[in-house]
Amino acid sequence: MLSRNRSAASWHPFALITACAVLVCGGAFAIACTSPAITPPEIEIEIEPEFESYDSVLNRVIYKIEVEVGVASPAQQTQCQCGLGLGTAGATAPASFSVLSVAVRNRFTSNSDLDYDLPAFAGFAASNAVTNSIKSLGNFNTGATASGFAATVNPFVPPVDTADQKLLLSFRVSFAPEDFNAVNGNVMQFAAGSNDPTHSLGILNNYKSQLILPPFQLSTCDFNFDQVCDIADLNALLAIGPIKAGVSSTDQTQVFDLDGDDVINNQDVDEWLSAAANDEGAADAYKRGDADLNGQIDFNDFLAWLLHFRQQTLLWNEGDFDGSGVVDFTDLIILVINLNS
224-273: per-residue pLDDT in tens? Answer: 888 899 999 999 999 999 999 999 999 889 999 999 999 999 999 999 99
How large is the average pLDDT for residues 76-99? 94
**37 CA to centre of own chain:** 28
17 neighbors 204 (Cβ within 8 angstroms): yes
129 neighbors 150 (Cβ within 8 angstroms): yes
Residues 6+ apart with CB under 8 A from 172: 52, 62, 63, 64, 65, 99, 100, 101, 102, 103
299 neighbors 281 (Cβ within 8 angstroms): no
- The pLDDT confidence band at residue 179, using thresholds 50, 70 and 90, is very high
**50 CA to centre of own chain:** 3
The answer to which of 166-170, 207-211, 334-338 has the lowest mean pLDDT is: 166-170
Q: What is the chain's Cα-based Rg?
A: 26
> Which pairing describes strands 78-86 and 145-153: parallel, antiparallel, or unpaired?
antiparallel
Domain boundaries, the chain: 8-203, 231-339
The predicted pLDDT at position 33 comes to 24
d(CA 188, CA 47): 10
Amino acid at 69: V
98 neighbors 202 (Cβ within 8 angstroms): no
Q: Could you give the C-alpha distances from 54 to 84, 100, 216, in angstroms and in order? A: 22, 13, 9
How large is the average pLDDT for residues 184-210? 86
- Of 111 and 83, more confident: 83
The predicted pLDDT at position 108 comes to 65
d(CA 56, CA 290): 30
How large is the average pLDDT for residues 186-209? 85
Q: Is 277 exposed, middle or buried (0-12, 13-18, 19+ CB in 10 A)?
A: buried
Within 10 Å of residue 153's Cβ, how many Cβ atoms?
27
Closest CA to 199 of 9, 29, 21, 7: 29
Q: What is the mean pLDDT of the chain?
A: 82
How large is the average pLDDT for residues 16-22? 38
Greatest alpha-carbon span in the chain: 83
The predicted pLDDT at position 42 comes to 54
Amino acid at 302: F
Q: What percent of the chain has pLDDT over 90?
A: 58
d(CA 225, CA 196): 46
